[in-house]
Amino acid sequence: MALIDLMPGDYAITIQTLLLDRARYTARVRLASEPDGEPGDLLDDVWVDGGQLLLFDDDLGDAAMTTVWTGFGDVRYPIFEVIKEGRRVGVEIAFIDIDFP
């Protein structure tokens, strides 16, 4: 489990997918107050079990849980900060190492 503190506020979850051999896979998941920020430094990594990642707000408990299916197996994935105007506005988990436009 990885715990990363973010500033209070409203956050959007953005999921980028990749179509590969007629199957759609989750390539990246971004949780950010300003989704158009840029990926920044590596913060941590997270172990995914059963191909599913759970995002949650510790202060809100079960009311703020989201499950993301990675389409891949049990592996550690990197967590990067999302930066806009020099400040951290979120995090991004990269399941597939690929650049998107």
The string of DSSP codes covering 59-85 is TTGGGGEEEEE-SS-SEEEEEEEEEET
Tens of pLDDT, residues 33-81: 988 999 899 999 988 877 777 777 776 665 567 777 776 667 888 999 9
Which residue's structure tokens are 């009311």? 63
Please compute Rg for the chain using Cα positions: 13
Contact 67, 6 (CB under 8 A): no
Q: Which of 80, 14, 10, 5 is nearest to 42 (CA)?
A: 80
| Model confidence pTM above 0.75 | yes
Mean pLDDT of 85-96: 90
Residue 18: the pLDDT is 82
